[in-house]
Amino acid sequence: MTDRGLTGLPSLPDTPFLPTEKNLGLYPVVDTLEWLERLLNAGVTTIQLRIKDKQESDVEAIIRQAIELGKRFNARLFINDYWRLAVKHGAYGIHLGQEDLLTSDLKAIHQAGLRLGVSTHDDQELARAVAIRPSYIALGHIFPTQTKDMPSAPQGLQELKRHVASIPDYPTVAIGGISIDKVDAVLDCGVGSIAVVSAITQAPDWQQATAQLLSMIEHRER
Ligand SMILES: Cc1ncc(COP(=O)(O)OP(=O)(O)O)c(N)n1
Ligand SMILES: Cc1ncsc1CCOP(=O)(O)O
Ligand SMILES: [Mg+2]
């Protein structure tokens, strides 16, 4: 029998994905080895390499080096999208969106012992994510963002709070348009982690922005 009825996905692992920290803290999402190294040196412990729309052969060397770097810093490095390369090179974890789930081998990822983060935008996607029993669930986008074209409207803080409350056993990550001035309000919704791109990479002073974000988010961690 398949799970297509509930999840639309052909085949799910029999047990949950490996756990990760309940509160993943500050979670920068970056697209180069240079950013990874800078941010790991600045004290970031959860991070994602998100390279878009390249051939696997063009990104394999970068992904391999990123995974080595993550291990050297004992960091939780999630690879976005390129799940085959993440499995091949033994990443800490993988991040997949709803569309990615349709073309990924979740059993292979699970069997290889990688953690899995899944994106969600609404109640239906949240139900599908829960059926997969991933390591964390991302909720977004929370506010308008310039970084990624989003077909749906931002979910806002009220929906974020409701979604977080509905999955108390999962580590949660909020993403999308989260600038430093919005961090406290997002944390008030109960999320364990805040993922950011532009709040760091477009900041006038990325070191100052990273230090401030780390201190605001760690200060609130339980
Ligand atoms: C932490 C986190 N949350 C959401 C996303 C978005 O993933 P996805 O919907 O697959 O879109 P792309 O990032 O692949 O364009 C993410 N990467 N990280
Ligand atoms: C990758 C991604 N997924 C949902 S929103 C987003 C981009 C977040 O970037 P920013 O923090 O600059 O809004
Ligand atoms: Mg994706």
> Which ligand neighbours the alpha carbon of 97 most closely?
1
pLDDT, position 220: 76
Instruction: Give tens-digit pLDDT for 63-104.
Output: 999 999 999 999 999 999 999 999 999 999 999 999 999 999
**Ramachandran area for residue 193 (φ above 0: left; ψ -120 to 50: alpha; else beta):** beta
Of all protein residues, the one whose alpha carbon is nearest to atom 17 of ligand 1 is: 80
**pLDDT score, position 5:** 53
Residue 193 counted as an annotated binding residue: no
Which bound ligand lies closest to the C-alpha atom of 202? 2
User: What pTM does this model have?
Assistant: 0.97
Pocket flag, ligand 1, residue 48 (CB < 6 Å): yes
Q: What is the mean pLDDT of residues 10-17?
A: 91
Q: Does 11 carry a binding-site annotation?
A: no
pLDDT at site 219: 81
The mean of the pLDDT values for the chain is: 95
Distance CA 21, CA 53 (A): 29
Q: Give me the pLDDT at residue 4, please.
A: 55
Cis peptide before 141 (omega within 30 of 0): yes
Phi, psi of 187 (to 5 degrees): -65, -35
Q: Best substitution site from 139, 197, 198 to test ligand 2's pocket, by max atoms within 8 Å of Cβ?
A: 197
Neighbours of ion ligand 3 (CB under 5 A): 81, 97, 100
Q: How far is the CA of 172 from the CAs of 82, 128, 146, 157, 194, in angstroms?
A: 22, 15, 22, 14, 9
pLDDT of residue 221: 56
Instruction: Tell me the per-residue pLDDT of 129-157, one tens digit each, with 9 for 90 and over.
Output: 999 999 999 999 999 999 999 999 999 99
